A and B are shown apart, each in its own frame.
Chain A
Amino acid sequence: MVDVLVVDDDFDLRDTLQEILKDFGYEVAVAGDGREALAWMRSHELPRLVLLDWMMPVCDGASFRAAQLADARLASVPVVLLTADIRLEEKTKALDANAYVKKPVELDTLIDTIRRHSRDS
Chain B
Amino acid sequence: MFAFSSRAKRSSVPAVRTPLGELQGNPGSVSAGFASADPTKAGDDFAVIMLRPDGRIASWNWAAERVFGLDTAHALGQSFACLYPREAVDAGLPEHDLAAALELGTTVVHEVPRRRSDGTIFRATVSLGAVFGADDSHLGFVEVVQRSERDASPAQRYADSLAKADLVLRSVHDAIVVQDSSGNVLYANDAMATACGLPDGAAMTRTPLEGFPRLLEVFDEQGKPITPLDITFAYDTGAATVEPVLFHVRVRKTNDSRWWLVRRTSLRDEQGRPQLIIHVGSDVTDTVRAREAASSLADATRLLSASLDYATTLRTLAEALVPRLADWAVVILVEEGTPRQVAVAHPDPTLTARARELWERFPVTAERPLSIANVLRTGRARLFPYVNEETLQSFATNEEHLSLLREFQPHSAIFAPIVVCGRTVGVLAFSAVSPRRAYDDADLDLAVELGRRAGNAIEQARLYRDAQRAVHLRDEFLSIAAHELRTPLAALTLQLQSLKMTVSGDALEHDADRFQGRIDKTLRQSNRLARLVDGLLDVSRIAGGQLDLHRQEVDLRTIVSGVCERFAEDAERAGSELSFSNGGPCMGSWDADRLDQVVSNLVSNAIKYGQGKPVEVYCTADGDNGVVTVSDRGIGIAPENLERIFGRFERAVSERNYGGLGLGLWIAQEIAQAHGGRVEVTSTAGEGAVFRLVVPRSSVSAERRHG
Interface residues of chain A, those whose CB is within 8 Å of chain B, are: 9-13, 15-17, 19-20, 23-24, 55-58, 60, 84-86, 103-107, 110
**Given contact pairs A20-B498, A104-B489, A12 touches B524 in the complex (Cβ within 8 A):** yes
B483 lies within 8 A of A55 (CB): yes
**Inter-chain contacts of B486 with A (CB < 8 A):** 84, 103-104
A105 B494 Cβ-Cβ under 8 A: yes
Q: Which residues of chain A are within 8 angstroms of B656 by Cβ–Cβ distance?
A: 55
Q: Specify the chain A residue showing the minimal Cβ separation from B479.
A: A85
Contact across chains for B497 and A103 when beta carbons are under 8 A apart: no
A105 and B493 within 8 A (CB): yes
Contacts of B518 in A (CB 8 A): 19
Query: Interface readout for B487-503 with A: 1 if CB under 8 Å, 0 if not?
Result: 11111111101100100
Residues in chain B near residue A10, CB distance under 8 A: 487, 491, 659
Q: Say yes or no: A11 contacts B490, CB within 8 Å.
A: no
Smallest CB–CB gap between B152 and chain A, Å? 100
Indicate if the CB atoms of A103 and B528 lie closer than 8 Å. Answer: no
Q: Which residue of A lies closest to B495 (CB)?
A: A16
Chain A neighbourhood of B492, CB < 8 A: 104
Contact with A along B464-498 (1 / 0, CB 8 A): 00000000000000010011001111111111011
CB distance from B569 to the nearest CB of A (A): 10
Asked if B525 contacts A12 (CB within 8 A), the reply is yes
Given A9-B659, A12-B528, A57-B657: A104 and B490 interface contact (C-beta under 8 Å): yes
Beta-carbon nearest neighbor of A58 in chain B? B657
Q: Are B507 and A104 in contact (CB under 8 A)?
A: no
Given known A-B contacts A9-B659, A11-B573, A56-B657, A23 and B494 have beta carbons under 8 A apart: no
Contact A105 B490 (CB under 8 A): yes
Q: Give CA–CA (A24, B171) in the complex, Å.
A: 113
Q: Is the CB of A16 within 8 A of B658?
A: no
Known A11-B573, A60-B655: A17·B488 in contact at CB below 8 Å: no
Q: Apart from A9-B657, A60-B657, A106-B493, what 13 extra A-B contacts exist at CB < 8 Å?
A: A11-B573, A12-B521, A16-B494, A16-B521, A17-B494, A19-B498, A24-B507, A55-B483, A57-B655, A58-B657, A103-B486, A103-B490, A104-B490
Give B contacts to A, CB under 8 Å: 479, 482-483, 486-495, 497-498, 501, 507-508, 518, 521, 524-525, 528, 573, 653, 655-659
- Please name all residues of chain B whose beta carbon is closer than 8 Å to the beta carbon of A104 when the two chains form the complex: 486, 489-490, 492-494
Give the distance in Å from the alpha carbon of A58 to the alpha carbon of B655 in the complex. 10
Chain A neighbourhood of B498, CB < 8 A: 19-20, 23, 107
| Residues in A neighbouring B488, C-beta threshold 8 A | 12-13
On chain B, the residues within 8 Å of A58 by CB distance are 657
Residue of A nearest to B487 (CB): A10
Least CB distance from B528 to A in Å reads: 7
- Please name the residue on chain B nearest to A59 by beta carbon: B657
A contact residues around B493 at 8 Å (CB):
104-107
Which of A17, A56, A104 is the most central at the interface, judged by chain B CB atoms within 10 Å of its CB?
A104
- Report B-chain residues with C-beta under 8 Å of the C-beta of A23: 498, 501, 507-508
CA distance A105 to B487 in the complex (A): 9
Given A15-B521, A16-B521, A84-B483: A107 and B659 interface contact (C-beta under 8 Å):
no
Find out whether the CB atom of B659 lies under 8 angstroms from the CB atom of A13. no
Contact residue among A11, A57, A84, A105 (Cβ-Cβ distance under 8 Å from B658): A57
- Nearest neighbor of A24 in chain B, beta-carbon distance: B507
23 residue pairs from A and B, CB less than 8 Å apart: A9-B657, A12-B491, A12-B521, A12-B524, A12-B525, A15-B491, A15-B521, A16-B491, A16-B494, A17-B494, A23-B507, A55-B656, A57-B653, A58-B657, A60-B655, A84-B486, A103-B486, A104-B489, A104-B490, A104-B492, A106-B497, A107-B493, A107-B497
